[in-house]
Structure 1
Amino acid sequence: MSEKPPYIVRPSAPASSPYRAATLIFLHGYGDDAEGLPLGLAQQFQFYNKMEHLKWVVPNAPHNHEAMTRAWYVPKALPNAMKPHVPGHEEDEDEGGPDDEAGIMQSVDLVDQLVEQEIKNGTPAERILVGGFSQGCAVSMVWGLTGRLKNKIGGMVCLSGYLPLKDRIDQLIEERQPEESADEISLHGKGSKKWFYVHGTMDMLIPTKLFVQAKEDLTRWVSREDIEEHLYPGMGHSTCAAELRDLLGFFDKVVPP
């Protein structure tokens, strides 16, 4: 799907360390690439000797000719979700065509392939995390609900994004995983993974109302106690120290050394 292979940031802990392996598969945002924000996050953690046992796998989205940039899908349904938000024009946010389901689900399939490869490489499935920033967050959220291996992993890391295809999730689960038992696909019965879903109050690309709505929508399929959510005052479409502190705390809970 992508003409550039994933960027790999190896654990900084020595191979002889007693730490247990863990992997974060992290999708970059619209128009970015693996060596942008994701690499910056990985380097920050390693610079401060945090999560030394964590391997970062950061795939590159293909160049999308319609979007004219790297994109996991074409953001048709939410025109204001990928361009500056103008206060007072909230009524325009829901205009647009349908979500690019084909593009989103192709990206979901790629995540499944990456998770499967990490398991084959020897990382225990429960010590694999999946997530992303912005459009990468949106794809990861859909994967966390519909992905083939969604019930195997330990957690989701969802930064500054929203949930597309929310009205298609139930049908996609049924279409993509008909072999699952009733217990596996019942409400609040989709595995034991934890979710870290956060946003900034000054995000001018993805309005806060989309975060609030997605958080509520998510509880249709995920128990509220499995969702750690934060809304950071003053943070734009970026990261901040408080977010990184909370993310470190989440890492320590779901993939401790």
Structure 2
Amino acid sequence: MTEKPPYIVSPTADASSTARPATLIFLHGYGDDADGLPLGLAQQFQFYNKMQYLKWVLPYAPHNQEAMTRAWYVPKALPNAAKPRVPGEADDETAPDDEAGIMKSVDTLDQLVEQEIKNGTPPERILVGGFSQGCAVSLVWGLTGRLRNKVAGVVSLSGYLPLRDRIAELRKQREVGSDEKEAKQWFFVHGTMDMLVPMKLFVQANQDLAEWVDKENIDGHVYQGMGHSTNSAELRDMLAFFEKVIPA
């Protein structure tokens, strides 16, 4: 688990509500915090009285000493990304992904899912996801996590798939069913003006996912003009996804 307990946003539904409980475990991006963009998302849904039965579990990444910020893994330079170099980031785009860090974060997600199940939330009422680097971890977890096929789906915003050439081997090593097609639902979206995670990485990730996931199980959207952020159209589509996979 991370060294700081997750930020919990409790459901707003009152005791008389007939809606069944559900949980979204959502990872923040590189250099952010649980009480940054993830909390902002939760607050927007609650402000408009949407998904009132949803519990938001917002974990904090460990503090990375080299990068001097919170990170789920040590990042590397991304191709054509219009951003300054950040501390702790590998300069070479061809450098290997931080497999140890990524898979440690994957294990953290498994622990968080297990804890929610112990807390009484049915696994088929749990979603796992993230934004940016959190999105990247959620995608890898969705393909290699121990409990990945227990949950309702994966919610992945503005990220990419690291370890893409290692997924098949990791599935074998972790004995998660290397040949199984993923049965859960995926929400995977991106903005056309994302200068931090180039669109071509989103396209590549979709191609890679197709090896493991039936296309009809991927709810994918591209938002014209959206940068490395969120917008109202994305939140609308996200709400529709929630209502489909974890209905009241």
Same-fold call, TM cutoff 0.5 = yes
CA gap of 1:175–1:110, structure 2 versus 1, over 3 A, is same
Deviation at 1:66, TM superposition (A): 1.4
Show the counterpart of 1:186: 179
Deviation at 1:64, TM superposition (A): 0.2
SS in 2 for 1:52: coil
State whether residues 99 and 165 of structure 1, in contact with CA within 8 Å, keep that contact through their aligned partners in structure 2: yes
* Residues 10-48 of structure 1: CA deviation (Å, up to 9, x unaligned): 001013311101000000000001000000000000000
State whether residues 159 and 197 of structure 2, in contact with CA within 8 Å, keep that contact through their aligned partners in structure 1: yes
Residue 249, structure 1, aligned to residue 247, structure 2: no
CA separation in 2, counterparts of 1:45 and 1:172?
Answer: 36
CA gap of 1:206–1:84, structure 2 versus 1, over 3 A, is farther
- Taking the TM superposition and a 5 Å limit, the aligned residue runs for 1:95-114 are 95-114=93-112
CA separation in 2, counterparts of 1:82 and 1:123?
Answer: 41
- Aligned with residue 224 of structure 1, among 207, 210, 215: 215
CA separation in 2, counterparts of 1:82 and 1:36?
Answer: 22
State whether residues 2 and 108 of structure 2, in contact with CA within 8 Å, keep that contact through their aligned partners in structure 1: no
State whether residues 79 and 198 of structure 2, in contact with CA within 8 Å, keep that contact through their aligned partners in structure 1: no
CA gap of 1:99–1:112, structure 2 versus 1, over 3 A, is same
Q: TM-score, normalised by structure 1?
A: 0.90
Structure 1 residues not aligned, in runs of 5+? 86-92
Show the counterpart of 1:65: 65
CA separation in 2, counterparts of 1:16 and 1:4?
Answer: 33
CA separation in 1, counterparts of 2:197 and 2:128?
Answer: 21
SS in 2 for 1:225: helix
- Paired amino acid for 1:135: Q
SS in 2 for 1:204: coil
Q: TM-score, normalised by structure 2?
A: 0.94
Residue 160, structure 1, aligned to residue 153, structure 2: no
Instruction: State the superposition RMSD in angstroms.
Output: 1.8
CA gap of 1:81–1:3, structure 2 versus 1, over 3 A, is farther
Identity of aligned residues (%): 73
Following TM superposition, where does structure 1 have runs of at least 4 consecutive aligned residues deviating by more than 4 angstroms? 79-82
